[in-house]
C-alpha cells in the first residue's frame, strides 16, 4: 500500500466524516485522486465500514460489555477458523481475536444486563464442542477506546497542606 493511501486511512480513522475534497486539500492532491483511492480501498475491503465511537455511559440505555477468554481445541486442517466463525456469528458478539498466551480466543460481547451475558456464556459459548473453558471479565468503565479518551479529568485543585 502506498503512502498516499495510508495518509487517507489515517485521516479517515481520525474523522470518517471528512469529504474527499477536504482530504485532497489536506494532502495537496486532487479530489478525483482521493475519491478513486477511497473507492479502490472500499472495493478491496481495506476500508470495511465507517463507524461512530459512542460513549455509552453518557446515554440512558443500559449496556453491559464483557471480555471472555476462551480456551478451545483447534480443528484439524482449519485450526481456530471454524470455532471463531461459530462465535462471531452470534449477534451479541462484537469482536473475536485469536490470541497468543494463556488462552486462544478473546471474545467481546454486549448484553442488556449481567444475566443476559451470563446466559450467553453458559448456554451458547460454553456449549460449543471445541470450547474447553471460558473466563469472563465485565467492563466496569471505559476510559479510552480506539485512541479516543472518553473523559478528561481535571487537575487536582486542592490546596497543599504542610506541617
* pLDDT higher than threshold 90 for residue 156: no
Question: What is the share, in percent, of the chain residues with pLDDT greater than 90?
Answer: 71
Extents of the domains making up the chain = 3-44, 59-145
Per DSSP bridges, beta strands 144-145 and 93-98 are: unpaired
Q: Which residues contact 130 (CB under 8 A, 6 or more apart)?
A: 72, 73, 74, 75, 82, 83
Q: Give, in degrees to the nearest 5, the angle at Cα 110 between 108 and 113.
A: 135
| C-alpha–C-alpha distance, residues 75 and 58, integer Å | 42
The pTM assigned to this predicted structure is 0.75
Mean residue pLDDT of the chain comes to 90
Distance CA 107, CA 131 (A): 12
Whether 106 and 48 have beta carbons less than 8 Å apart is answered as no
State how far the Cα of 49 lies from the Cα of 56, in Å rounded to an integer: 20
Q: Give the model confidence (pLDDT) of 41-80 as tens digits.
A: 999 999 998 988 877 777 867 889 999 999 999 998 889 9
Binned at pLDDT 50, 70 and 90, residue 163 comes out as low
Strands 131-138 and 144-145: unpaired
Q: Please indicate whether the domains covering 3-44 and 59-145 agree at the CATH topology level.
A: no
The reported pLDDT for the residue numbered 154 is 64
- The CATH architecture annotation of domain 3-44 reads Orthogonal Bundle (1.10)
Region 59-145: CATH code = 3.30.70.920
pLDDT band at residue 14, thresholds of 50, 70 and 90? Answer: confident
- pLDDT tens readout for residues 77-114: 889 999 999 999 999 999 999 999 999 999 999 999 99
3-state secondary structure 40-96: HHHHCCCCCCCCCCCCHHHCCCCCEEEEEEEEECCECCCECHHHHHHHHCCCCEEEE
Beta strands across the sheet bearing 105-111: 93-98, 105-111, 64-72, 131-138
Amino acid at each position: 500500500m502506498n503512502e498516499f493511501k495510508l495518509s487517507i486511512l489515517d485521516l479517515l480513522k481520525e474523522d470518517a466524516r471528512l469529504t474527499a475534497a477536504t482530504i485532497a486539500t489536506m494532502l495537496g492532491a486532487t479530489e478525483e485522486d482521493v475519491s478513486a483511492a477511497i473507492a479502490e480501498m472500499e472495493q478491496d475491503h481495506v476500508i470495511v465500514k465507517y463507524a461512530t465511537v459512542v460513549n455509552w455511559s453518557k446515554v440512558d440505555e443500559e449496556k453491559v460489555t464483557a471480555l471472555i477468554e476462551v480456551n478451545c481445541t483447534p480443528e484439524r486442517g482449519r485450526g481456530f477458523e471454524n470455532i471463531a466463525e461459530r462465535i462471531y456469528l452470534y449477534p451479541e458478539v462484537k469482536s473475536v481475536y485469536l490470541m497468543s498466551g494463556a488462552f486462544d480466543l478473546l471474545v467481546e460481547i454486549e448484553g442488556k444486563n449481567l444475566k443476559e451475558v451470563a446466559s450467553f456464556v453458559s448456554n451458547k459459548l460454553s456449549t460449543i464442542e471445541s470450547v474447553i473453558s471460558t473466563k469472563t471479565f465485565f467492563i466496569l468503565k471505559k476510559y479510552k477506546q480506539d485512541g479516543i479518551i472518553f473523559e478528561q479529568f481535571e487537575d487536582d485543585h486542592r490546596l497543599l497542606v504542610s506541617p
